[in-house]
Structures are given as C-alpha cells and as structure tokens.
Amino acid sequence: MNNADFWKSINVIIADGFTPEGLRKLDYYAGNCTKREQRELARFAESKQCRRSQLFINGRLVYKRFSPFEQHGCATGGATNVIASLLAGADAAANCGISGELSFQAECQRGKAQEDIIEQWAKKVNCWYDNVDQSLEKQFGERIAEGGEAAVYQQGFNLTKSIGLDYYIQPILALDRISLHNAFFPETKLSVVGFGRLKNGSFQVIVEQQYIQGSKMRDSDIQTFAKKMGFELRNPRNWTYATPDIYLSDLHDENVILSREGNVFVVDCDIRINTPQLRAGGTRTLTTEVDFL
C-alpha cells in the first residue's frame, strides 16, 4: 500500500457511510483493535495486496505531517484523536494537503467538509454529543471556566473541555493542536473523548485532562521556561513563542501553572506546526503524506 492507496481506502470508507467493515479498518489503521481483529484485517489487507498496511499508534504507519515525536503525541490523545485526524486528513489530502494560504471562505468550506466527515463517523461509534453545553452540564454540573475557545468542567481530579474551532476553523488544525500539546507537554496530555455541537451549531472537540493544582507564574518566568525548551519570544503582546518547527502562543499566566514542588505545567496553549503563513519564522509545510515501515 502506498500513499495514494491509503487515502483511497479512507475515502472509500467515508463514501460507503462507515460500514462495520469500514470501521474495523479504521480501527486497524489506528491500532485500536484486538489482536484477533488485527489478524483478520491483516489477512484482508493481504487479499487486497495491501501487505504493508500497518498501525499508526505502533509507528508503522508514518504520518509525515508529524515528526515521530509528534506522531506519538497524536497517539497518546487516544484512538479517537488518531482516527479523527486521519478522517480530516482525507479531506486535506484531496485538496493537496491544504498547505498554502487559503481565503477565509475556502478555509470555512474545508472546515465544514471535515466537520461533516467526523460527525458521520462519531455518530456511528457513539462518541457524538448533541447540544454539548447541555450534555456536559448535566454530566458534570456548571462549568468552572470559559475562555475564548473552550468551556471547562471539573469532576474530581479530571477536567472535561469543550473546545471550539474559533482559532482554527478546520478540525484538522485543532486536532494538530492536541497532538502537538501531548508531544511537548505530556504531563497535561489531552485525550479526545468525542465531538459534538453547541446549541448554536458550533462544532466542538471534547477532551479530558488531569486537573493540576498550583499557582500562576510571572510572564518573565514563563519566558525563561519557554527559552529552556528552545522557543524564542516572537510577540510579547500575545505571548507568542516559536521555533522554525513549532508555533506556540497564548502562553500566559492563566495557562501555565507552577506546582508546589516547583514543576511547570502548561495546561492550555495555542500550539501549531509553524508554517511560513504564520509569519513567525516557520519553515514547515502541512502535508498529509503517509509512508509505511
């Protein structure tokens, strides 16, 4: 199986309406199935001359959008994160990776197409929430915080966050953010548990995260922390840092916590693959090419 064959397979699964066989194949690609199912699907792959089809989570399906380190971050977000990323990637692959700078209208069209694909799949596998705000309030009680893109609910030592697409428009970029966060800040990893819409129709990614206790940090200390990680301060007005590979923003005192033991935890941030379009010294391109080991 090569890159073209892989995305053709994903698009057939989408076009067929996520049949049971299609769902099993998605689980196989992601690594979210039993050993028996893996053997059955491996035999199916061989019968279709797809002998090199392997598993994303085990690193044998290489998603070149990410470095190996970043792909591990995608995997630690759970199979729901992996499969949704691949489904959104199918739309991006059909549009040449969406690596260039799109008009706002075109970006909205691409975002809507990705939303619809993920919604169809999520409803099939029962990880879709209608009226997200009401559903989460019913399950967890009143929200404890609300920011520009997310609402936060707490139950014990776990947080549930409903994250909108205000900063990203396209789901693939919001899912990139989760994967990159997990790669660079694994102590506060985000696990994707589902998707849904608010009453106003706004698409939401629903994640879980461990609750961290601690105190706020000064901007100067956050800057020192980011510098030790190799990030250069690019714009202090919106707390933006960058390397040629990664764009890191919104790194202010409400999103970074200092624990009693002196450990730094980034609980929220705007983190992206740093492309030239972000105008922060980025050198990467957004690709959806896959390879197999």
pLDDT at 53: 31
Per-position DSSP letters for 110-169, written without gaps between them: HHHHHHHHHHHHHHHTT-EESSHHHHHHHHH-S-SEE-SSEEEEEETTEEEEEE-STTTS
Q: How far apart are the first and last CA of the chain?
A: 11
Helix 79-94 to helix 20-30 angle, to the nearest 10 degrees?
Answer: 100
List pLDDT tens digits, range 112-132.
999 999 999 999 999 999 999
Question: What CA–CA distances, in Å, run from 166 to 71, 202, 244?
Answer: 24, 9, 24
State both tokens at 251.
Answer: 């790194």
List pLDDT tens digits, range 190-249.
999 999 999 999 999 999 999 999 999 999 999 999 999 999 999 999 999 999 999 999
Structural contact between residues 221 and 261, judged by C-beta atoms closer than 8 angstroms: no
Q: Which residues of 46-81 are buried (b: 16+ CB within 10 A; e: fewer)?
A: eeeebeebbbbbeeebbbebbbeebbbbbbbbbbbb
pLDDT at 39: 53
What is the SS3 assignment for 223?
A: helix
- Domain edges within the chain: 3-100, 128-210, 215-278
pLDDT at 101: 64
Give the burial class of 219: count Cβ atoms within 10 A of its Cβ; 0-12 exposed, 13-18 middle, 19 or more buried. middle
Superfamily of domain 128-210: Phosphorylase Kinase; domain 1 (3.30.200.20)
Structural contact between residues 161 and 55, judged by C-beta atoms closer than 8 angstroms: no
What is the pLDDT confidence band of residue 280, given thresholds at 50, 70 and 90? very high
> Is residue 96 over pLDDT 70?
no
What CA–CA distance (Å, rounded) separates 49 from 258?
Answer: 53
Average pLDDT, the chain: 88
> Is residue 41 over pLDDT 70?
no
